[in-house]
Structure 1
């Protein structure tokens, strides 16, 4: 569980730096879910899954990700950051759960593939390749 607390802390530091927050926003639930407190700039709900489900094993699953300003690069920047974190903590995949039209378009742009019509996933190695090509 300490590993998950370290993961939570890194995401919290990232959000504090990127969005200029002064206080901690991110917490870890007993179900291994990383979430942000309600605020005006970012909404994050991240599931940590080590076992196979609809998603492959060792997957960080984005259940909810929203920013008050859209189409300015926050999502791509966060996925790039999350790719490095996933690699550091031994995750092999990132997933997007229950994607709506906007998030499925975003997922496809980054190379995620659709699992079942509404859920997307991608191997960390493919994201690393995507970001090295930019």
Structure 2
């Protein structure tokens, strides 16, 4: 649980720096879900899963991620950040849960594979390769 609290703090620092927040917005629930307090710029709900489910084991699952300003690079920037964090904390996959048309297209652009038509996953090593090609 201590490592998850460190992960929460890293995500909090990232969002505070990227979106110029002055105080902490991120919290970790008892069932290992990272959420952000209601605010005007970002909506985040991230599941931490070490065991296999419909997603591979050792997966950070984005259940909800949205930004007030769309199509300006926030999503790609966050996935790049999450890739580094996943590697640091021993996660081997990143998933996107219940993707709509926009997030499904975004996932495919980054190389995520479809698990069942609405859920996507990718190995962190594949994201590292993708971002090193840019």
Q: For the aligned residues, what is the CA RMSD? A: 0.2
- 2:6 maps to 6
Structure 1 residues not aligned, in runs of 5+: none
Q: Write the distance in 2 (CA, Å) between the matches of 1:38 and 1:105.
A: 26
Answering whether residue 88 of structure 2 is matched by residue 88 of structure 1, we say yes
Per the alignment, residue 52 of structure 1 pairs with 52
Tell me how far 1:8 sits from its aligned partner.
0.1
CA-to-aligned-CA distance 1:12-65 (integer Å, 9 cap, x gap):
000000000001000000010000000000000000000000000000000000
With normalisation by structure 2, the TM-score equals 1.00
State the shift of 1:6 in Å.
0.1
TM-score, normalising length: structure 1: 1.00
Partner residue of 2:29? 29
Q: How many residues align?
A: 134
Return structure 1 stretches of 4+ with deviation > 3 angstroms: none
Q: Any gaps of 5 or more consecutive residues in structure 2?
A: none
Query: Equivalents in 1 of 2:12, 2:102: separation in Å?
Result: 25
Map of 1:78 onto structure 2: 78
